[in-house]
Amino acid sequence: MNYPTWLLDIYGGGTIIALVAVAHVYISHLAVGGGLFLVLTEMKGLRQGSREILSYVKVHSKFFLLLTMVFGGMSGVGIWFTIALIHPTATSSLIHIFVFGWAAEWVFFFCEILSLFLYYYTFDRLDSGKHLTLGWIYFGCAWMSLFLINGIIDFMLTPGAWLENRNFWSGFFNPTFWPALFFRTFFALMIAGLFGFITSANIKNKALREEMVRYCALWLLPALLLLVASGFWYKVALPPPQAEMIFATSPEMARYVRGFIIISPLLFAGGLLIAMARPSFLIRPLAWLLVILGFGYMGCFEMIREGGRRPFIIHDYMYSNGILKEELGEFREEGVLEKARWVTDEERAAKSPEVAGRKLSTLLCLPCHSQGGFLNDIKPLVQSFTREGMASYLAGLGRVNSYMPPFPGTPQERDLLSGYLTTVLTQSRESQPQISPEELAIPRFAPEDKYLLVAASDRGAILTSEPQLSGLDFSFAPPRIKAQLIQRAESPTVTSDRVEISYRVIGKPEGEGGRLKAAAGYFQAELADLTPAAKPFRPYRLINLEAKVAGKLVAKTKVRVGLSNGFACRNCHGGPWRSEGSGLSRQTAENILTAHDKRSHTKLAREHEQGKIVVCSSCHSDSSRGAKGDASLLTLSGAVHGFHGAILGTGDENNCHLCHPVGSDSQSQSFDGLHGTTIGLNCSDCHGGLASHGAAILKAESSPGAKPLLAKLAGRTALPVEEIRSRRPWEMEPDCLSCHPGFAPPEKFSGFNQWTNGKQGLFGQRMGEGAVLLCLSCHGSPHGLYPARSPHSREVGVIQPLQYQQKPYPMGADKGCAVCHTKAMADELHHPGMLQEFRNRL
Amino acid sequence: MDIGQLIPPPDFLQVQWGWFQLLQTGTFFCHLLVMNVMLGAAIISLWYQVATPDSAVAQLTAQKLPFSIAFAVNLGVAPLLFLQVLSGHFIYVSSILMASLWLSVVAVLIISYYAAYIYQLRYEDLAVLRGIPAGVMVAGLLYIAFIFSANMALMENPNAWPEYFARPEGWILNLNDPRLMPRFLHTVLGAVATAGLALALYGDYRQERGHSCPEHMVAGGCRLFSYATIANFGVGFWYLGSLPTGIFRQPGLAGKLMAFCLLLAIATTALAVINGLRERARQALAFLLLTLLAMTLVREFARAILLAPWRDYGEIPLRPEYSPFIFFLLVLGFGVFLVVYMARLVLSGLSGGQR
């Protein structure tokens, strides 16, 4: 944050560093191994008394000099220039920590140049002993350069004890110094063999050519085996965070690790093949192919080594955006724009994504990301997000996607940056709800009617991913209606004797219906095939209910069943709505599965593409649907809430609306009951913020996947994780009586951490005192308690209260006992307090 | 805009800043010498190539140029390293401001270097086409010299840095800086002069050893040195005049030392020219070395004065750690030993005949 940022646009994202570094590193390793190759090959020529071999060495040394001295040496300066331009803070740190290491390397570099010039230009002019001495000096100096650079480069990956003691030698002889030194030395020897093929292939004398090609193969093959062995040593020496980053966490690393693994046997086989090949027309292309493969091999290794540092540029010390780990708190407090030096007063004062957001992107994103370029292009990464989704993602940056540094700015800066990324750099697909309210006809009820039919859905606002359309099934359990038929009288009864209750779905598909089954004190039906209302979109379906006693129709009503396809996954996963501002599109589903594949190494996106419906609960158990899944994996709710709880937000935010269609920005606005509208509670008041919610569910999990996620949630939950009570999803929910002890008015508005004791305590299952009436018969559905106020219709959330008592409040409110009892009552039979005036009036 | 706000805080030092200043100045002096020979010899070689294509001087310089490039680059690494230690917070910024041009230096250097090798290795084959690689090489090296001059000038001129906010793509050369052109020309003319004297010295050396030497090489080299240096006097005063007024009237030691070194440099330059005109190459060399040393110091003092409002070595945090410094000195000693050892090995071997 102390230096200006070079705006590279498409050439950013490490493109220049990757190009210069890999090319330089390849040739600089040749400069080391090739030195030994020259000396030992010259000795071979001398030992065999072969003028031809000595001539070959001279030719090869010219090729070697032109390649390593000019390209190798100058690109070394190039990589130094490049890193200083792109990561000046890190370069300055490396220069200041290791200045005398660099300086010593410069001395060896000088001696390398001198000795190589002398070696080449005194060929045939010095006696062999002196000439070989020059060669040995060259190799010794080149290897010492490798020795010194190796210490500094590996310090960036594994600083080791330097982090505590800031001692030069601790940093230099860091935990991976020795395995890396051996690894690089064998790499250098292998490359010497590879480039030896190039010059050997051009030898005109057939016998000598074949001899020298086989000789070069001897450089390649053993060195390759030793390289692989030292590679394992290197891997073992990596501290767990770096090893995890390379081999597990960072999705980009997989391709380079795979590339390294694939190229190893290819190089070996190529080496064997070229050693056996006879005709030169085969040797030459093979030689070049092996050199190119070696380049790819080196590229994979360098990308892995660089990737292992993430999210740092100097591990555990400096983030890749140049901010020191110890400075993070200051930045978060004061803000990036305030702390950064290369920011104008106008940019600091600006509150727009176009100016301030752009600057934040320049400071925080561009050190690693290109904009529309070849490497680490940020555009496809952010274009799927809505602005709010991006802001929430930024807030959780660095936790689950631990290859990213945490967002270092203030919440306002987070919003500005997300605004820039989603509305200026890319065009996010924001949508505003388009709702045209409908007016509903309320079923008739006459004071002389003998029966009263009350009903509600016990699963509140159901969400469906519409598997047939989206190809992805993570829908909730289907809606379930519960109904009770009350025979009106001074002492009314809930009757089931010779009672038949049937239902018929209003709207398409026409005529769908059936009969409710008798249960303990009520009737119920599960509407497994019910589809959400479309054209116009409604977050509910209306169902006609009819009750017959001994075959005679005695009561009719209409019930709302909350059912929406408004999963808002696209906020972060991108893709369009399926239709009319709602619905999971196939594109979004595919993006979700691609993200799953990336993290969990599955191949679900391919299955999806092939037309299969991917059912999440086939692996992740879901008790609401009775899906057992794989017992070793997290439950569906635990996986979804635990993972997103870790990735979204900085604390324990109420960001449920990013996924659930409960916010005023959604087409559904499903949380329309008394608590959400009249009182103004939000999801987290009962369930806890996302982090707390996820933690409570994860604590009930036995899967090994729970612990790492819990660790990422620690410190962000409303209560310490150890104090959060575990709960099984769908079976244990916030207990109404925790805020309404003894059915009294609430003294607090927090149901978090006070779960029902199993299914029996759930609102949808529970009955009032006397165990006669279901709670939902009088109060309506969970999340849609009377008086519910849906923007889609004034009447839809209060159909039965309006039908039976011409007011939107719970059944029997305002001493309205007569609706069932046909007269005023003096005793609070169903629960204490029910004879008081209803408090939360519209 | 507050320029001070743009200047990053310096990183810590492991030993007192004086050591780094000494190392920077010492290694820069070595780099300056070799770089002058390289750039000047390249220009002279091209000149001869164009003027008198079969000139022995052109061929001689063609044979030596790749070596001089290699050592000029290598000897440039050390002062740039120590400069980054003491003034990284300035040089990194100026480099980023001209990043696209600054990084192009590497590509141009590789092209120039390969052109030098083509010029050397294909000298006979190329015949009349020799001017092409020579021209590419010289153009490249002049470009690099110009970019280096521009970067150092921009580094010393933080007042020009806010231009970044209008042009952040790394193309800022600050061509309006009145110091830039005289600085560049002063460098180039100095290089031609130094290379001229180097030619004279080489001729002198060969003559002394009884080897053949191109005709008039000593006299021609001395004349080239003298005339180029006289011309450089004029450019030098132009450069001096372009510096901010009052730079010599700075209170404190730096201003006085700078004035002293400048006067010393003028005096030694005059003596070097006189000796050059008298074709006394070795004496001219002695005065030239003194001049280069004095001018190196003038450059350091000028930089110190120009950056004084924003840079104070005393404020750079010190985190003492001497063992790496001792390690470097040991390596440096070992390196000197190796150089001497190799020189003796080769000289004794060559005098002993072929194997």
Beta-carbon contacts of residue A405 (< 8 Å; ≥ 6 apart): A311, A312, A319, A320, A321, A323, A397, A398
Closest CA to A636 of A753, A755, A731, A729: A729
Nearest CA-CA distance, residue B224 and chain A, Å: 29
**B50 neighbors B354 (Cβ within 8 angstroms):** no
pLDDT at A144 over 90: yes
Q: Is A123 on the interface with B (CB under 8 A)?
A: no
State how far the Cα of A652 lies from the Cα of A686, in Å rounded to an integer: 13
State how far the Cα of B348 lies from the Cα of B330, in Å rounded to an integer: 26
DSSP H/E element including A463? strand A462-463
Least confidently predicted of A389-393, B167-171, B258-262: A389-393
Q: Is A16 on the interface with B (CB under 8 A)?
A: yes
Residue at token pair 């004034």: A794
Query: Tokens at residue A434, please?
Result: 């388009």
Closest CA to B154 of B92, B106, B245: B92
State how far the Cα of B79 lies from the Cα of B66, in Å rounded to an integer: 21
Q: Region A390-411: what's the mean pLDDT?
A: 88
Q: In chain A, which residues have their Cβ closer than 8 Å to the Cβ of B324?
A: 98-101, 168-169
* Residues above pLDDT 90, as percent of chain A: 75
Task: List residues bridging with B163 in a β-sheet.
Answer: none
State how far the Cα of A312 lies from the Cα of A239, in Å rounded to an integer: 14
pLDDT at A468 over 80: yes
Task: List residues bridging with A454 in a β-sheet.
Answer: A484
pTM over 0.95: no
Q: Which residues 158-177 of chain B have a CB within 8 Å of chain A? A: 164-165, 168-170
State how far the Cα of B237 lies from the Cα of B348, in Å rounded to an integer: 47
Shortest CB distance from A95 goes to which of B81, B99, B103?
Answer: B81
Cβ count near B87 (within 10 Å): 23
Query: Tokens at residue A735, please?
Result: 């207990």
Q: Left if phi > 0, otherwise alpha if psi is -120 to 50, otherwise beta: which for A548?
A: beta
Q: Is A370 on the interface with B (CB under 8 A)?
A: no
Q: What is the dihedral of CA A79, A81, A83, A86, to 10 degrees?
A: -130
Least confidently predicted of A26-40, B27-41, B239-253: B239-253
Determine, for residues A342 and B164 on separate chains, whether the beta-carbon distance falls below 8 Å. Answer: yes
Beta-carbon contacts of residue A479 (< 8 Å; ≥ 6 apart): A457, A459, A462, A526, A527, A530, A541, A561, A562, A563
Residue at token pair 């933080």: B158
Q: Which residues 246-285 of chain B have a CB within 8 Å of chain A? A: none
Q: What is the dihedral of CA B307, B311, B314, B315, to 10 degrees?
A: 170
Q: Is A349 on the interface with B (CB under 8 A)?
A: no
DSSP H/E element including A241? helix A240-244
pLDDT at A4 over 60: yes
Q: In chain A, which residues have their Cβ closer than 8 Å to the Cβ of B9?
A: 2
Q: Region A340-353: what's the mean pLDDT?
A: 93
Query: Tokens at residue A260, please?
Result: 């390294």
Shortest CB distance from A102 goes to which of B81, B350, B352?
Answer: B81
pLDDT at B353 over 60: no
Closest CA to B327 of A70, A529, A583, A173: A173
Task: Give the type of residue at B313.
Answer: Y
Shortest CB distance from A118 goes to which of B81, B103, B346?
Answer: B346
Q: Region B299-324: what's the mean pLDDT?
A: 91
State how far the Cα of A416 lies from the Cα of A406, in Å rounded to an integer: 16
Q: What is the dihedral of CA A366, A372, A375, A376, to 10 degrees?
A: 50
Shortest CB distance from B354 goes to which of A16, A82, A124?
Answer: A124
Q: Region B221-234: what's the mean pLDDT?
A: 96
Report the pLDDT value the prediction gives residue B130, as an integer from 0 to 100.
92
**A386 neighbors A429 (Cβ within 8 angstroms):** yes
State how far the Cα of B120 lies from the Cα of B114, in Å rounded to an integer: 10
Least confidently predicted of A247-261, A616-630, B219-233, B278-292: A247-261
Report the pLDDT value the prediction gives residue A9, as an integer from 0 to 100.
79
Give the model confidence (pLDDT) of A264-317 as tens digits.
999 999 999 998 876 777 889 999 999 999 999 999 999 999 999 999 999 999
Shortest CB distance from A6 goes to which of B170, B332, B349?
Answer: B170
Determine, for residues A122 and B349 on separate chains, whether the beta-carbon distance falls below 8 Å. Answer: yes
Q: Is A109 on the interface with B (CB under 8 A)?
A: yes
State how far the Cα of B95 lies from the Cα of B102, in Å rounded to an integer: 6
Q: Is A121 on the interface with B (CB under 8 A)?
A: no
Q: Is A93 on the interface with B (CB under 8 A)?
A: yes
Any idea what DSSP says for residue A408?
A: -
Report the pLDDT value the prediction gives residue A428, as an integer from 0 to 100.
67
Q: Is B51 on the interface with A (CB under 8 A)?
A: no
Determine, for residues A95 and B11 on separate chains, whether the beta-carbon distance falls below 8 Å. Answer: yes
Shortest CB distance from A130 goes to which of B113, B319, B349?
Answer: B349
State how far the Cα of A14 lies from the Cα of A705, in Å rounded to an integer: 33
- B251: cis peptide before it, omega within 30°? no
Report the pLDDT value the prediction gives residue B354, as an integer from 0 to 100.
45
Closest CA to A516 of A531, A526, A505: A526
State how far the Cα of A772 lies from the Cα of A830, in Å rounded to an integer: 8
Determine, for residues B85 and A95 on separate chains, whether the beta-carbon distance falls below 8 Å. Answer: yes
Shortest CB distance from A104 goes to which of B70, B168, B328?
Answer: B328
Q: Is A61 on the interface with B (CB under 8 A)?
A: no
* Residues above pLDDT 70, as percent of chain B: 98
Report the pLDDT value the prediction gives residue B355, as an integer from 0 to 100.
43
Q: In chain B, which residues have their Cβ closer than 8 Å to the Cβ of A122?
A: 346, 349-350
Determine, for residues A167 and B321 on separate chains, whether the beta-carbon distance falls below 8 Å. Answer: yes
Greater pLDDT, A664 or A608: A608
